[in-house]
Amino acid sequence: MITAERKPLEEIIEYIKPFKRILLLGCNECVTVCAAGGRKEVGLLASGLQLALLKSGSSIEIREHTLERQCDPEYVEELVPMIGSEEAILSMACGCGVQQLATRFKDKPVFPALNTKFMGGSLSQGMWDERCKGCGDCLLGLTGGICPIAKCAKQLMNGPCGGSTDGKCEISDDVECAWQLIWNRLKALGQEDRFLDIMPAKDWRSGGGGGPRKIIREDLAE
Amino acid sequence: MENFEPVIVAFCCHYCAYTAADMAGSQRLPYPSNVKIIRVPCSGKVDALHITKAFEKGADGVYVAGCLDGDCHFKNGNDKAAKLVTYVQNYLEEIGLEPERLEMVRISAGMGDRFALIATEITEKIRKLGPSPIKTVAA
C-alpha cells in the first residue's frame, strides 16, 4: 500500500486560512489502512482544525466526505454534484489523489493534508515499513523475496558492503542489512549458489530515470 | 474567573470507574457536580474524536477512567486507552490547548473513595487552569 502521515496542523492551517468553507476529503484505500486519511482521520482533523481556529478567534465551515478512491476519475466524478460553495479542497489522500482532484477541479485550490511516505506493508498494528521503490524491473525473484533497492541504504546490487555488522546496517542498529537478510533467506532455500551471480548495473530508466512513467494497456485503453 | 465552574467530561468504564462512581454515591461520598460521566463499555472504546468533540462542545477538561493495571475485562482496553490519551494530549498541544486538560486515570470498581478523590482533584486542577480557550472564544 501507499503509506502517509498527517502534515503538522500548523502547515495545514496556513493552507486553509484564507477560506471560509472547505471540503475535507478522505480516501477509503491505502491511507485508511495506514490510519492517515480515512473517514476516522477526516473527522479527527476536522475537529482539530475547528478547535485550533476557534482558539485563534476565527472559524471555518468544514464539510467532511470520504471517497472510495481518490486516484480514480470515476470516484472523483461523484464530487461534481456535491461541490458547491466550498472554496477549496483539503485532501487526505496520497499525492496521487491530490493530483487527481487538482486535474478535475481546475477552479478550486486543492491542498494536501498528508505527506505521502512510501510503498510498504504492515509489520504489526501501527507499524509500517518500506518494501518497494517501484523500480519497474523487479529483482525479488533473484534475491529470495527481499528487495535490495528498498531495504539497502545504498541500493547495492551485489552486497553486502563493509558497513554490515552482525546483520545490522551501519546507518543504524535499527536497520537490518538487506544483503544479510538475502543471504539468510537464500541459505534457508538452499540457493546459496545464487549469491555468487554478479548482478549487472541496474538500468534506472524503468525506475523513473527516464522521466515520468506511464502504463498503457492497449486492450483496455479507450 | 472567580466564579468559574469547569465542565469536565469523564469517560468511565462500565466495569470499574462507573461502578466506582456508583459506590461513591452509595457511600454518600461527595464529589463535584462539575464532572459529567459518560459510561463506556471499556475505556478502550473511547476514540480520539470523542475527546476532541468534548472540547469542541465546551468541555474545560476531559478524563478517561479505566481499570487498574492488568484488570481490564477485555484484556488490555485500559492500556490502549492510556496510549490513546497520550496521543490526544500531543494533538491538543498541536492545536494549542494545554495537554493537562486531558488525563488518564485508573480506578477499580470498589474504589468509591478514589473516584470521589480523583473527581475533586481534577476539578481543582482544571479550575486553576481556567476556562478552555475554546469556550472563551465561543462565548
What Cα–Cα distance (Å) separates residue A167 from each residue in A31, B53, B136? Answer: 32, 47, 57
Average pLDDT over residues A53-67: 94
**Crossing angle for the helix pair B48-56 and A39-55, to the nearest 10 degrees:** 30
The answer for residues whose C-beta is within 8 angstroms of residue A59's C-beta and 6 or more apart is A50, A53
Q: Which residues 11-70 of B are in CB contact (within 8 Å) with A? A: 47-49, 52-53, 55-56
ipTM (interface predicted TM): 0.93
Mean of pLDDT over chain B: 95
CATH code 3.40.1360 for B8-133 = no
Average pLDDT over residues B26-52: 97
3-state DSSP assignment of residue B75: coil
For A44, nearest residue in chain B (alpha carbons): B49
Q: Please tell me if residue A44 touches chain B, with a CB cutoff of 8 Å.
A: yes
- Report the predicted TM-score, pTM, of the whole model to 2 decimal places: 0.94
Residue B138 has pLDDT above 70, yes or no: no
Q: Which of B91, B94, B137 sits opposite A54 (nearest CB)?
A: B137
Average pLDDT over residues B62-80: 97
Confidence of residue A5 (pLDDT cuts 50, 70, 90): very high
Q: Mind listing the pLDDT tens digit for each residue in A115-160?
A: 999 999 999 999 999 999 999 999 999 999 999 999 999 999 998 9
For chains A and B, CB pairs below 8 A equal 42
Residue B106 pLDDT = 98
Q: Where are the domains of chain B?
A: 8-133
- Name the percent of chain A lying above pLDDT 70: 100
Residue B2 pLDDT = 63
Q: Where are the domains of chain A?
A: 2-118, 133-205
Q: Please tell me if residue A50 touches chain B, with a CB cutoff of 8 Å.
A: yes
Q: Which of A10, A44, A57 sits opposite B48 (nearest CB)?
A: A44
Q: Strand pairing partners for B11? A: B38, B64
What's the CATH superfamily of A2-118? Response regulator (3.40.50.2300)
Q: Which residues in B lie closer than 8 A to residue A8 (C-beta atoms)?
A: 94
- The dihedral through the CA atoms of A74, A80, A81, A86 has a sign that is positive
What Cα–Cα distance (Å) separates residue A175 from each residue in A128, A131, A150, A167? Answer: 14, 13, 12, 9
Mean of pLDDT over chain A: 96
Confidence of residue B3 (pLDDT cuts 50, 70, 90): confident
- Name the percent of chain A lying above pLDDT 90: 94
